[in-house]
Amino acid sequence: MAGFRSLARQVRDPRCDLALRRYSLRKCLERFAPYGHRATWHHLCTRHRFHPEDRGVDPARLVAALEELEEAREVWLSYEERFAERRKKEKHDGLRRPGSFDDWHRRTWGGYGVARCDDPSLHPTLPLAEALRRLISALEADPGKRCPVCADAGIVWRPELSNEPWHGPVCTGCGVVVPQPVLTPEALAAAKQERRHREQLASVA
């Protein structure tokens, strides 16, 4: 199975058929897709102005999309390296992280779905690398009350998500399933309360 870098070379290779170059970019998302496969593809298509189903994409747009993906991947891999070293030291010193933090990292190791968007058409408009830098800053700081990516305060608890985690807080502004470890207990409680409030309004309607 081809790795990310091998696929990236095919995207750039002008000797490859255009269909193969587009296919290779899609395959890159099986290795690294911060918002999940469908949402990351929609994001790249939107930012680089080609239709998700276009089979005749301008090669320059494909390469530009790849470059955005590669930059974000480097940001995330650098963070994972720092995280692994830090965890190694913490374990040596007998320190343990909260369980939810370890569980979140286990699910997202490698960068797939680190800022998952359950709705593929609703995702941050920022460049992928900047979105990940903001998320990483939040992971390395104390928990807060807002979305770490777009800083929106509108966070609601969703009980039925399409991928693991199967439930959790979702930003209503940018669509990111917010990692629970970056939110305070009060913010998580408010998200669940917001969900109950919306359900009540829906039942009255």
Mean pLDDT by 10 residues, the chain (205 residues): 91 95 96 96 96 90 98 95 83 68 76 93 97 94 96 95 89 96 95 78 59
Phi, psi of 173, deg, nearest 5: -85, -50
> With contact defined as beta carbons under 8 Å apart, do 68 and 128 qualify?
yes
The pLDDT, as a whole number, for residue 100 is 63
In 3D space, the residue among 3, 61, 62 whose CA is nearest the CA of residue 32 turns out to be 3
pLDDT at 58: 94
pLDDT at 75 (0 to 100) = 96
Query: Rounded to a whole number, what is the distance in angstroms from the first to the last CA of the chain?
Result: 52
**What pLDDT shows up at residue 59?**
95
Q: What pLDDT does 163 receive? A: 85
Closest CA to 40 of 137, 142, 112, 146: 112
Which has the closest alpha carbon to 34: 144, 150, 155, 123? 123
